Amino acid sequence: DVVMTQSPLSLPVTLGQPASISCRSSQSLIYSDGNTYLNWLQQRPGQSPRRLIYQVSNRDSGVPDRFSGSGSGTDFTLTISRVEAEDVGIYYCMQGSHWPPYTFGQGTKLEIK
């Protein structure tokens, strides 16, 4: 199974400041069709998860443009350009290039300083 490793696991951020989360996979996520199936998800306290980004860098509908995804191969990053209070929660990367199974990172807990 592909192991997804996130860092940091805890991310205290000042409102209005940028934040970045790293995700590394144990093997390349480039699929045989040339695409890379790497998602980013957000889970706010008390809510169900929500996908923010698919295929590395594509924002889902309704996701603010302060969220962006980048990376390739085995190294990926989620960046929030200016953190807002509603961004508090846990962020997960998830790979779908080598399934089953889908595998998630351990989660990064973003909190406001």
Partner 1 sequence: EVQLVESGGGLVNPGGSLRLSCAASGFTFTSAWMDWVRRAPGKGLEWIGRIKSKAAGGTTDYASPVKGRFVISRDDSRNTLYLQINSLKIEDTAIYYCARLSVVATTVIWGQGTLVTVSS
Contact between 107 and partner 1 by CB under 8 A: the answer reads yes
Q: Which amino acid is at 16?
A: G
Residue 20 or 43: the one with the smaller Cβ distance to partner 1 is 43
Give the contact letters, 37-76, x = binds to partner 1 (CB under 8 A), - = no.
xxx-x-x----xxxx--xx--x-xx---------------
Q: Where are the beta strands (DSSP E) in 1-113?
A: 4-7, 10-13, 19-25, 38-43, 50-54, 58-59, 67-72, 75-80, 89-95, 103-104, 108-112
Other beta carbons less than 10 A from residue 105's beta carbon: 24
One residue of 25, 42, 74, 97 binding partner 1 per CB under 8 A: 97
* Distance of alpha carbon 86 from alpha carbon 76, whole angstroms: 23
- Three-class DSSP category at 74: coil
CB nearer to partner 1: give 20 or 106. Answer: 106
Q: Is 25 in the site for partner 1 (CB under 8 A)?
A: no
Binding site for partner 1 (CB under 8 A): 1, 37-39, 41, 43, 48-51, 54-55, 58, 60-61, 90, 92, 94, 96-97, 99-107
